[in-house]
Structure 1
Amino acid sequence: MLFLLLLLVSCFQIISPTPKGNWKEKANRYKDGYFKPGDYVIGAILSLLTIGLPEEFFNTFPMSYTEYPFKVVSKNSQHALAFIFAVEEINNHPDILSNISLGFHICDNFFEPRFSYGITLSLFSAQKENIPNYRCGRPYKIPAVVGALSSETSTQVATISGLYKVSQIHYPFSYQMVPNEAAQYDGIVQLLSYFSWTWVGLIVSDDNQGEEFVQSLKSVLSRNSICVAFTEKAPFFFPQTVNGLTYYEFSSVTVLKNLIFTKANVIVAYGVTSLMIGLNILLRSYEQSTRKSTEKVWVTTAQWDFSSKVFLNDWHVKHFHGSLSFTVHKNNVPRFKTFLQEFNPYQHRDSNFFQYFWHDAFDCISPNFYKNTQNFKICTGEEKLESLPQTVFEMNMSGDSYSIYNAVYALAYALDNLYSSENPKPSHHPLQSWKLHWFLRKINFNNSAGEEVFFNDNMELSTGYDLVNWVVFPNKSFMKVGFPSFEHFTAALKIIGEISFHRSTVPESTCTERCHPGYYMKILEGQPSCCYHCLGCPEGTISNQTNAHHCYKCPEEECPNKKRNRCVPKVITFLTYDGPLGICLVSAAVFLSLLTASVFGIFIRHRNTPIVKATNRDLTYRLLISIFLCFLCSLIFIGQPSTVTCLLRQVAFGNIFTFALSCVLAKTITVVIAFIATNPGGKIIKWVGKKLSNYIIFFCSAIQAGICAIWLGTSPPFPDKVSQSAEIVAQCNEGSSTMFYIVLGYLGFLASVSFTLAYLTRKLPDTFNEAKFITFSMLVFCSVWISFIPTYLSTKGKYMVAVEIFSILASGVGLLSFIFAPKVYIILLKPNMNIKDHLFKKGKSIK
């Protein structure tokens, strides 16, 4: 493969015109960096300066690294300081690499992945030319390389370091000291879901990583019902100076239009700091020209530090107030702040970067740094890092710096373990870098912050992301309210006062207004799933959540409330004594019972009168008593059903009415036999009397009693509850509907027989004849119970009981009124007709 590459280069030189001179002599290589010798030297590739690269036309040789215009990224200087601090701390540690010193070689890739090949080669070669797979003239040993802040840079560093079998530790490849970037996707989804933000904008850097982020995040958001309102790339900016005034032109301003007009109040932003500067400046320009900010909630990833002061002298982050940023996990490392407070660039004169940083931060230079210092202010040595604003430098260790610190310690422990296992010791023999891999995989230690450091099976450090809430003050200062790790974030958010936004309330970010409980979402055809109509739940269903996807039925024992946003216990209903319907039925039953008792009293008092004797007193008494009991038995049907009342209801009703109908049947048969027996020479005279009536009553009642006994013995009635749409009906389950209708059928049979016989004997002499009255009473009785069946089957709940009670009372009234009303009328109002002479006289006239 290497041969093919060299062949292609040679072919290119043949067919392409080359500039004058030897290209080898003019080829530039990386010569900058900060080197400190040691028994083992750890390489570091960091991003400290950013340079402006012109467009290449490939007709001239590239300029030297030092000839490009550059700008110091002040905040990133902490990465180099954390690296140096870790090396010095290890060299002073008595238990790690005793009698062995660590050195370092820090290189800057200028935030440009294209420089990484040359920089990495320079770490392994001291000659003028960088020759792959050769270690040319390097007097020191490099067991590992730390750094590479982006995955693209890491790939290029890993390609070269792999040729030398040198371990790369820290970023996305080899040994990863930061959590997997995919973990941020889950964190973003959890964050958006917690606040119910379902309509968000995406702004990413204009590079391959931005494209990959959009594709990966969109799929995760879609699976969690979160929609993307727009996707934009951060613009590039071009400073322009006219009449001494500087203004900026941008590659695109559509991102600003989307921010102004979108309904999405939450923006997810991704990109490295150097590629997001244009967005910062665009937001700042909009704020200056309109005197207002976009007031969006920014959710940023760990790659972007929007508070970094780059290319701007007057910079603040007002429009980022209330933002939520994912950061690489960090902890407070003892003595690091003291190290920063005591840091003196004069002790690091060999580092051009620290001299640039000091000049940029304090507007002064170290003595002898430039040959001509007339136009520069000389530093006094009293400058302190802690005096710098947060946008320039932070005294607390950042997440990236913490990872670099842990990476150096991991290498030191791995080297210590390797050194301890070697015999003879590596200090007397060249170190075999490939042996370090095994010890790095097994590394496990507690750092000075007290955290355990080890790699999982994927060679990743088992840490998560922290979350930071930005609070910006009017004086341009800011405070970062951090949560220890995202796993604890949702628990911490329950104290909502800890989160600060542009306004006092949590902003909403939805395509349409949320559907309140009692409604459900109906997705609009052709629209994202987050854009919907809110429709009320259908009858019988509820939704008790905001933005419910569908409504559901309540449990059997509950029903929806009027707003259909929660289930309430169903009311248990039954025919009560104190309800309007119950009061009416009880009053009617009691009144009719008293009326029957009054009729019975009248007959007892006038028991010796001819009309009472003529109607068969004993049967009359029995019939009145049975009618009285019929009225009273209706009261058993009122009230909450119990086992006793359920057993008594239909049994009492069936047997009492059977007894009453048996008495009516006995009366009818007695009238017929009495009339036949009056004919001369009749042999049936011997059946006239009490004995026949008793037999009829006993036989008819015994059959019904037997039916009821079978019913109770096989499938007796029992109390039951039937759930309906808005209530639970407490009722008696008949146990066997067949037996219930057999009881009713038998009553209908007795009534039909009585009706038939009474109808046939209706023209007998009035002196002995009750047939007409029995005919009408049985007609009413049959009509009531025939109409009862369809009415009973078509009603539900307590009204079924009311229908049966009404039928009992109505049929009882039919018996009482048609059989006994005429007799009571004669007894009370026509006493002159209630004498024996009148009856005999009437009888003779008939003859």
Structure 2
Amino acid sequence: MQWVPITLYTIAIAVSPCSESERGCSLSSLSTDGHARRPGDIIIGATFLIHVNRIQSKALFTSQPPELQCQAFGLDYYQSMRALLFAVEEINANPRFLPNITLGFQIFDTCTAVRRAAQGTLWMLSGGQEITSNYNCFPESHLAGIIGDSASVRAIIMAQILGLSRYPQISYLATSPILSNRDLFPSFFRTIPSDEFQAIGLAQLVSHFGWTWVGLLAVDTDYGQFGIQLVKQEIVKAGACVAFSEDIVTGKPNRNAPHIAQVIKASTAKVVIVISADYDLLIVQEELLTQNVTGRIWIASEAWATSTLLSDKKLQAILVGTIGFAIHGGLISGFPEYFKSLSPFDHLYDAFIREFWEQAFSCKWLDDLADNTTFRGCTGNEKMESLKMKIDIRITLNVYSAVYAFAWALKNLIDCKPGTGPFKSGSCANISSFHPWHLLHYIKNVHFETKDKNVIFFDAKGNPPAIYDIVNWRLSATGAMEQVVIGSYSSVAGGEKTLTINNSAITWIYGETQVPLSKCSRSCPVGFMKVALPGKPSCCYDCARCHQGEISNQTDAVVCHQCSPETWPNLQQDQCIPRVIDFLAYEDLLGLSMATMSVSSSAVPLGILSIFIVYQTTPIVRANNYSLSCLLLLSLFLCFLCSLGFIGYPQPEKCLLRQVAFGMVFALCISCVLAKTITVVIAFNATKPGSRLRKWTGVKVSKSVVMFCTCIQFSICVLWVSFSPPFPEQDTKTQPGVIIYSCNEGSPFAFWIMLGYLGLLASISFIVAFLARRLPDSFNEAKLITFSMLAFLSVWVSFIPAYLSARGMYTVAMEVFAILSSSWAVVGCIFVPKCFIVLFRPNMNSREHLMGKGQR
């Protein structure tokens, strides 16, 4: 069975495309126009976007598809390519860096085409002369790896091919996060940060300026789609909303620009984040210019943040004020002078310099001139110093760093000491016969500092130290568009990301000095909160006043905050202020007035009592039960004074006793009135012949009535205080913004029972007195009692609805007023007429007058 592999091997050799005798079996060769080569002991391959566009041709499948036709020479990308040549020459010129080793290069123009990227990769793997899959028929040079590509979609294709054999690949501009996947792309590295880092930075930038309503625009490649997904996630996470998200369709000649322009024009979003290459965005910007869509703030990804292609004067009306994440700039000592010293006669290995010369000096080489051309001829003696060309040390620095990463990896491979090497048994790789995976090991562990102090290394995912420059597009003194650095975004130790921006250095659209707004809804002022609109993003909302008792002290508050029980919102509802303390205080005019009235009124019953004592022997005083009158006057004195218990701070003892005192003294008062009424009735009826009521005419009956009626009220008050006593409380709910210090009655039922019992006594007294109103005047107080009880009941019937509707101190004031009014009703109706007769009509205060009056 050993012959089978031998035979297969023999057949493989026989059909090998490297065999000159079997050329007919080789794969068909593809055109590899657009490349440059320089021989060397070790070759560094590279792909560049020398031409930024291509002629679209439709495949008919009836003939061989035509080769891609590249056009639109890219001056920026040519500078990047020259950075590779500069680095290679600089390394070769240093004999101590890679002794006895000469670096060469192979450069391929991908021309924005994925097919060209794959073609260039295979071309370099095959030796750099013709494409022969899986074979290198020109082994005189050793391929170290490839630098490229500038676009993620092309870098992914290249990484899939190079990863099969573990050829190191270092991209200088591919930012797609998927390229960090080591399982899919084990040999990929880059000198530009991943879009994952940029996406977080863009979201922080949006938050920094307070923008919550932004539009998104991205190319339909992996670079754009992966980038826009990350940006959208981070923006939403930061609290902003996406107004629209549109794709720049690279497969269409117009890039879908008319539709995009209409969407941007119709949207209220003033900020648009664009993740695209400059040559794709250019077509969209030209369409926006045609439709006069201005007044937008453009946020640029690193792919176009420093583009000279978009810095055209005609786009100034649209792009001034743009803010972008630019590749971190640095220094490449000697490169500006090197680039300005270029000559088409001195750089024989540069296949693109003639075309660059034509583009830069707007001329044509004599051998390319047609008879009808309008271009002047190129001589090659034109001076680069005459060009006002900006030397961009951004992408060029990434290319320069990538070349040195390969060079340092090769140096470390050369410096390896046998026995201490990283490979099996401590072995080292041979510089003349190393495998791709040998160099891959050293690329992973490379860590160096360039002569300009730029530190280069790769993390576990092949990414470099992450740092961006924040640039602002503005007009220079000469009227040209320029990008000025206004801040930075970087990752520091511990993974923390820092955004630093000098706001005062920013030039906005229309020369504005304040940050333009981009919101779906106006900001909610303090005192309001945001209310979500059904079916709308969270950034679109209405503003609603905070509920009673709540505040919001910041704009665009999501929720309002409840004030503490001791505080209440001010009129604007933006801060909590101490509540107004409400109780019937002696310091208040109302409290002072009622206290004065209570004290002064209490002197009246005492004055009347003194008059009765002085004139106790007179008929009018003795006629109506002198002892009951004195007791009634004393109870009225206490009635006036008990109102003082309702004025002042409601302390626990005061709350416990004030209603009890009120109920007891009024029960005593009304009991005396009732006893007097009953005494009048009994006394009149007892004068009739044969009346059995004679034995009830003594003072025992009146005392018994007073004691019995008062004891019932006393029992009610004892039960009330025993089971549900009144207590002080702070009421913060009844009246907004006010703390009502009051006495909680404990049991409202007991309070109304107590008050109802007084009403019952007064009602009985009124009815009895009313029925006895026609008795002879000589013995009759019935009319006076009738009027007094009518006034008494009127006061307390009116008190009930007023008491229930009043709030705070006015509730207490109503009860004090009722106490004073009802007390005055009894005093005025019963005792004032008697005092008037005693003091001012002494002739009427005689038994004869009274008896005579009774006889009529």
TM-score interval (norm. to shorter): 0.7 to 0.9
Q: Quick one: structure 1 residues 533 and 691, their matched pair in 2 at CA, closer, same or farther if it must change by over 3 Å?
A: closer
1:120 Cα deviation from its structure 2 partner: 0.7
Q: How many residues in Structure 1 have an aligned counterpart in Structure 2?
A: 794
1:130 Cα deviation from its structure 2 partner: 1.6
Whole-angstrom CA distance in 2 between matches of 1:64 and 1:841: 147
User: Does the 8 Å contact 1:324/1:468 carry over to 2?
Assistant: yes
Aligned to 2:308: 308
Which one of the candidate residues 28, 48, 51 is aligned to 1:49?
51
1:110 Cα deviation from its structure 2 partner: 2.6
Higher mean C-alpha deviation, range 712-721 or range 84-93: 84-93
Q: Which ranges of structure 1 fall in alignment gaps of 5 or more residues?
A: 1-20, 239-248, 288-292
Whole-angstrom CA distance in 1 between matches of 2:255 and 2:690: 135
Letter of the 1:484 counterpart: S
Letter of the 2:163 counterpart: G
Higher mean C-alpha deviation, range 588-597 or range 681-690: 681-690
1:761 Cα deviation from its structure 2 partner: 5.7
Whole-angstrom CA distance in 1 between matches of 2:380 and 2:485: 38
User: Does the 8 Å contact 1:320/1:472 carry over to 2?
Assistant: no
2:125 equivalent to 1:124: yes
Which one of the candidate residues 329, 337, 342 is aligned to 1:341?
337
1:116 Cα deviation from its structure 2 partner: 0.6
2:755 equivalent to 1:744: yes
Whole-angstrom CA distance in 2 between matches of 1:444 and 1:737: 86
User: Does the 8 Å contact 2:466/2:490 carry over to 1?
Assistant: no
Whole-angstrom CA distance in 2 between matches of 1:454 and 1:213: 24
Whole-angstrom CA distance in 2 between matches of 1:480 and 1:603: 106
Query: What SS does the aligned partner of 2:142 have?
Result: coil
Superposition pairs of residues 144-293 of structure 1, within 5 angstroms: 144-170=145-171, 171=174, 172=176, 173=179, 174-205=188-219, 224=239, 226-228=241-243, 231=246, 233=248, 253=258, 263-282=268-287
Aligned to 1:9: none
Letter of the 1:728 counterpart: V
Whole-angstrom CA distance in 2 between matches of 1:95 and 1:739: 108
User: Does the 8 Å contact 1:751/1:782 carry over to 2?
Assistant: yes
Superposition pairs of residues 361-760 of structure 1, within 5 angstroms: 361=360, 375-379=377-381, 383=384, 389=388, 392-395=389-392, 397-398=393-394, 400-405=395-400, 407-408=402-403, 419=416, 420-422=421-423, 423-427=426-430, 430-435=433-438, 458-461=461-464, 463=466, 465-473=468-476, 475-477=478-480, 478-485=482-489, 492=500, 495=503, 498=506, 500-502=508-510, 503-510=512-519, 570-575=579-584, 585=594, 589=598, 592-593=601-602, 595-596=604-605, 598-600=607-609, 602-603=611-612, 606-668=615-677, 671=680, 704=713, 708=717, 711-712=720-721, 715-724=725-734, 726-730=736-740, 731-752=742-763, 754-755=765-766, 758=769
Aligned to 2:9: none
1:549 Cα deviation from its structure 2 partner: 7.2
C-alpha offsets along residues 102-142 of structure 1, whole Å, 9 cap, x if unaligned?
65544332333220111111222226432222233233333
Aligned to 2:824: 813
Aligned to 2:813: 802
Whole-angstrom CA distance in 2 between matches of 1:320 and 1:374: 33
1:269 Cα deviation from its structure 2 partner: 2.7
Aligned to 2:116: 115
Whole-angstrom CA distance in 1 between matches of 2:210 and 2:147: 40
Letter of the 1:175 counterpart: F
Q: Quick one: structure 1 residues 589 and 55, their matched pair in 2 at CA, closer, same or farther if it must change by over 3 Å?
A: same
1:656 Cα deviation from its structure 2 partner: 2.9
Q: Quick one: structure 1 residues 552 and 27, their matched pair in 2 at CA, closer, same or farther if it must change by over 3 Å?
A: same
Higher mean C-alpha deviation, range 71-80 or range 550-559: 550-559
Whole-angstrom CA distance in 1 between matches of 2:632 and 2:94: 116
Q: Quick one: structure 1 residues 55 and 810, their matched pair in 2 at CA, closer, same or farther if it must change by over 3 Å?
A: same
Aligned to 1:75: 76
Aligned to 1:297: 297
2:336 equivalent to 1:332: no
1:153 Cα deviation from its structure 2 partner: 0.2
Letter of the 1:112 counterpart: A
Q: Quick one: structure 1 residues 159 and 700, their matched pair in 2 at CA, closer, same or farther if it must change by over 3 Å?
A: same
1:323 Cα deviation from its structure 2 partner: 1.0
1:744 Cα deviation from its structure 2 partner: 2.6
Whole-angstrom CA distance in 1 between matches of 2:275 and 2:322: 13
Query: What SS does the aligned partner of 1:138 have?
Result: coil
Whole-angstrom CA distance in 2 between matches of 1:256 and 1:787: 76
Higher mean C-alpha deviation, range 52-61 or range 216-225: 216-225
Flag the structure with more relative contact order, 1 or 2, with Cα contacts below 8 A and sequence separation at least 6. Answer: 1
User: Does the 8 Å contact 2:568/2:579 carry over to 1?
Assistant: yes
Whole-angstrom CA distance in 2 between matches of 1:53 and 1:413: 40
Whole-angstrom CA distance in 1 between matches of 2:398 and 2:120: 21
Higher mean C-alpha deviation, range 253-262 or range 799-808: 253-262
Higher mean C-alpha deviation, range 713-722 or range 270-279: 713-722
User: Does the 8 Å contact 1:707/1:743 carry over to 2?
Assistant: yes
User: Does the 8 Å contact 1:777/1:819 carry over to 2?
Assistant: yes
C-alpha offsets along residues 675-699 of structure 1, whole Å, 9 cap, x if unaligned?
6887899999898777776676567
2:789 equivalent to 1:774: no
Letter of the 2:323 counterpart: L
Whole-angstrom CA distance in 2 between matches of 1:27 and 1:452: 40
Superposition pairs of residues 136-151 of structure 1, within 5 angstroms: 136-151=137-152
Whole-angstrom CA distance in 2 between matches of 1:626 and 1:414: 113
User: Does the 8 Å contact 2:489/2:500 carry over to 1?
Assistant: no
Whole-angstrom CA distance in 1 between matches of 2:661 and 2:88: 101
Q: Quick one: structure 1 residues 135 and 659, their matched pair in 2 at CA, closer, same or farther if it must change by over 3 Å?
A: farther
User: Does the 8 Å contact 1:671/1:770 carry over to 2?
Assistant: yes
Whole-angstrom CA distance in 1 between matches of 2:617 and 2:148: 127
Q: Quick one: structure 1 residues 457 and 127, their matched pair in 2 at CA, closer, same or farther if it must change by over 3 Å?
A: closer
1:45 Cα deviation from its structure 2 partner: 2.3
1:581 Cα deviation from its structure 2 partner: 5.7
Letter of the 1:504 counterpart: T
Q: Which ranges of structure 2 fall in alignment gaps of 5 or more residues?
A: 1-23, 180-187, 370-374
User: Does the 8 Å contact 1:573/1:729 carry over to 2?
Assistant: yes
Higher mean C-alpha deviation, range 154-163 or range 734-743: 734-743
Q: Quick one: structure 1 residues 725 and 807, their matched pair in 2 at CA, closer, same or farther if it must change by over 3 Å?
A: closer
Whole-angstrom CA distance in 2 between matches of 1:630 and 1:97: 116
User: Does the 8 Å contact 1:521/1:550 carry over to 2?
Assistant: yes
User: Does the 8 Å contact 2:91/2:97 carry over to 1?
Assistant: yes
Query: What SS does the aligned partner of 2:430 have?
Result: helix
C-alpha offsets along residues 478-498 of structure 1, whole Å, 9 cap, x if unaligned?
241332117899975695664
Whole-angstrom CA distance in 1 between matches of 2:391 and 2:128: 38
C-alpha offsets along residues 141-176 of structure 1, whole Å, 9 cap, x if unaligned?
334333212221012101221232213233332335
Q: Quick one: structure 1 residues 143 and 604, their matched pair in 2 at CA, closer, same or farther if it must change by over 3 Å?
A: farther
* Identical-residue share of aligned pairs (%): 34
Query: What SS does the aligned partner of 2:46 have?
Result: strand
1:578 Cα deviation from its structure 2 partner: 6.8
User: Does the 8 Å contact 1:781/1:815 carry over to 2?
Assistant: yes
Query: What SS does the aligned partner of 2:377 have?
Result: coil
Q: Quick one: structure 1 residues 206 and 793, their matched pair in 2 at CA, closer, same or farther if it must change by over 3 Å?
A: same
Whole-angstrom CA distance in 2 between matches of 1:23 and 1:134: 11
Aligned to 1:792: 803
Aligned to 1:246: none
The TM-score, its normalising length taken from structure 2, stands at 0.76
Aligned to 1:242: none
User: Does the 8 Å contact 1:317/1:476 carry over to 2?
Assistant: no
1:746 Cα deviation from its structure 2 partner: 4.3
